Chain A
Amino acid sequence: MLAELLYTGLGCLIFGALAAPLLGTKFKKSWLVSIGVSLIGSLCVLGSALQIMGLRSPFILRLPLSTLGMIDQSLYLDRLSGFFLMVIAIGAVLVSLYSFGINLHYSEAGKNLSYFAFLYNIFLLAMYLVVLAGNVVLFLIMWEIMSLSSYLLVLYEHEEKHVRQAGFIYVVMTHLGTVFISISYFLLAKAAGGLNWENLSLVSKNLNTGLANIIFLLAVIGFGTKAGLIPLHIWLPRAHPAAPTNVSALMSGVMVKTALYGLLRFLFTFLPTGPWWWGGLLLILGALSALLGSMYAVLQKNLKGLLAYSTVENMGIICLGLGAALILRHFQFYDLAILAGVAFLYHLMNHAVFKTLLFMGAGSIISATHTKNMDLLGGLLKRMPYTGLFFLCGVASLVALPPLNGFVGEWLILKALFNLSIAIDSLTIKALGLLAISVLALVGALVATAGVKMYGSVFLALPRSYQAEKARETSLSMHIAMGLAAFICVVLGVLPGKISLLLGSLLELYWPSARVPAQDGFWQLCNVPKLGGEVYYPLFLGLLIVIIAILTWRLLPFIFGQTSVRRSETWTCGITPDATMEYTGTGFTEPVRVVFKNIFLPTREISQIYQVRPYFSRVIYFRDNIKPVIEEGLYKPLMKLFLAFSKYVRRMQTGSVQMYLAYILITLVILLATVR
Chain B
Amino acid sequence: MNILYMILQGLFLLFLAPLIAGVVKKTKALLQNRRGPHLFQVYRDIYKYMKKDAVMSEQTSWIFVFTPYLVFASILGAGLMLPVFHPVSPWPFSSDLIVFIYLLTMARFFMALAALDTGSAFGGMGASREMAVSSVIEPALVVTIAGLAFKAHTTDLSKMVSSFMVNPNGIFTPNLLLLLVAFYIILIAESGRIPVDNPDTHLELTMIHEGMLLEYSGKYLGLMVWASYLKQLLLYSIVASVFLPWGITSDPSLIGGIYNLFFYLVKVVFIGVLVAVTETAFVKIRLFQIPELLFSSLVLSFLSILMEITVGGR
Are chains A and B touching in the complex at the 8 Å CB cutoff? Answer: yes
- Our pick among A455, A537, A553, A571 for the contact of B93 (Cβ within 8 Å) is A537
Of B55, B127, B138, the residue contacting A452 (CB under 8 A) is B127
- Per DSSP, chain A at the interface is helix
| Per-position binary interface string of chain A over residues 389-423, scored 1 when its CB falls under 8 Å from any chain B CB and 0 otherwise | 00010001001111000010001001100100110
Q: C-beta contact mask, A439-472 vs B, less than 8 Å → 1, else 0?
A: 1111011101101110111011110000000000
Docked-complex contact A422 and B149, CB < 8 angstroms = yes
Contacts of A590 in B (CB 8 A): 128
A536 and B47 CA atoms in complex are apart in Å by: 35
**Nearest chain B CB to A219 CB, angstrom units:** 31
Complex alpha-carbon distance, A382 and B57, angstroms: 14
- B residues near A569, Cβ cutoff 8 Å: 57-59
A434 touches B305 (CB 8 A): yes
CA of A216 to CA of B192, assembled, Å: 48
* Interface presence of B215 (CB below 8 A): yes
With contact pairs A438-B298, A457-B116, A591-B128 given, residues A444 and B138 touching in the complex (Cβ less than 8 Å): yes
B156 at the A/B interface (Cβ < 8 Å)? yes
A544 in contact (CB, < 8 A):
yes
Produce 1/0 per residue, A512-556, CB < 8 A to B.
Answer: 000000000000000000001111110011001110110011001
Q: Are A595 and B288 in contact (CB under 8 A)?
A: yes
Kindly identify which residue among B98, B103, B113, B288 contacts A414, using a CB–CB cutoff of 8 Å: B98
Give the distance in Å from the alpha carbon of A193 to the alpha carbon of B113 in the complex. Answer: 59
B101-149 contacts to A (CB < 8 Å): 102-103, 105-106, 108-109, 112-113, 116-121, 123-125, 127-129, 131-139, 141-143, 146, 149
**Which residues from B are CB-within-8-Å of A548?**
10, 72-73, 76-77
**Shortest distance between the CB of A676 and any CB in chain B (Å):** 66
Question: Does A567 belong to the interface (CB within 8 Å)?
Answer: yes
Q: Are A540 and B105 in contact (CB under 8 A)?
A: no
Q: Which listed residue (A442, A448, A571) contacts B109, Cβ 8 A? A: A448
| Complex: chain B residue closest to A542, CB-CB | B77
Nearest CB of A to B110, in Å = 9
Contacts of B128 in A (CB 8 A): 583, 587-591
Most chain B Cβ neighbours within 10 Å, of A418, A534, A572: A534
Q: Which residues of B contact A65 (CB under 8 A)?
A: none
A545-B70, A545-B73, A545-B74 in contact; A570/B59 too (CB < 8 A)? yes
Q: Is A10 an interface residue (CB 8 A)?
A: no
Which stretch in A40-48, A240-248, A558-566, A622-630 binds the other chain? Answer: A558-566
B residues less than 8 Å from A451 (CB atoms): 109
B116/A564 in contact, CB under 8 A:
no
Chain B, interface size category, equals 35 or more
**A592, CB-defined interface residue at 8 Å:** yes
Q: Is the Cβ of A591 less than 8 Å from the Cβ of B132? A: yes
Tell me how far the C-beta of A643 lies from the nearest C-beta in chain B, rounded to whole angstroms.
39
- Complex: A587 Cα to B132 Cα, angstroms: 12
A552 and B94 in contact (CB under 8 A), knowing A442-B138, A449-B131, A563-B53? Answer: no
A544 touching B99 in the complex, CB below 8 Å, given contacts A452-B127, A564-B53? no
B149 and A418 within 8 A (CB):
yes
A contact residues around B70 at 8 Å (CB): 545, 549
CB-defined contacts of B310 to chain A, threshold 8 Å: 427
Asked if residues A445 and B137 are in contact (CB atoms below 8 Å), the reply is: yes
**Does A594 have its Cβ within 8 Å of any Cβ on chain B?**
yes
B291 contacts A by Cβ under 8 Å: yes
B154 x A534 contact (CB < 8 A): yes
CA distance A444 to B105 in the complex (A): 9
Contacting pair B142 A421 (CB below 8 A)? no
For B131, give its contact among A379, A411, A452, A533 (CB under 8 Å).
A452
- Does B55 contact A418, Cβ atoms closer than 8 Å? no
**Nearest-CB residue, chain B, relative to A564:** B53
* Interface status of A183 (Cβ within 8 A of chain B): no
- Residues of chain A lying within 8 A (CB to CB) of residue B136: 442, 445, 595
Q: List 5 A-B contacts (CB under 8 A).
A: A446-B135, A456-B127, A559-B50, A567-B56, A591-B129
Given contacts A400-B105, A439-B139, A544-B80, 18 further A-B contacts (CB under 8 A): A381-B62, A430-B309, A437-B142, A438-B139, A445-B138, A453-B131, A460-B61, A462-B59, A534-B154, A536-B94, A556-B219, A563-B219, A568-B57, A570-B57, A582-B124, A591-B131, A594-B288, A595-B135
The 6 closest A-B pairs by CB, nearest first: A583-B124, A456-B116, A591-B132, A461-B119, A441-B142, A445-B138
Question: B: which residues have CB within 8 A of A?
Answer: 10, 47, 50-63, 69-70, 72-74, 76-77, 80, 91, 93-94, 96, 98-99, 102-103, 105-106, 108-109, 112-113, 116-121, 123-125, 127-129, 131-139, 141-143, 146, 149-150, 153-156, 159, 214-215, 218-219, 223, 287-288, 291, 298, 302, 305, 309-310
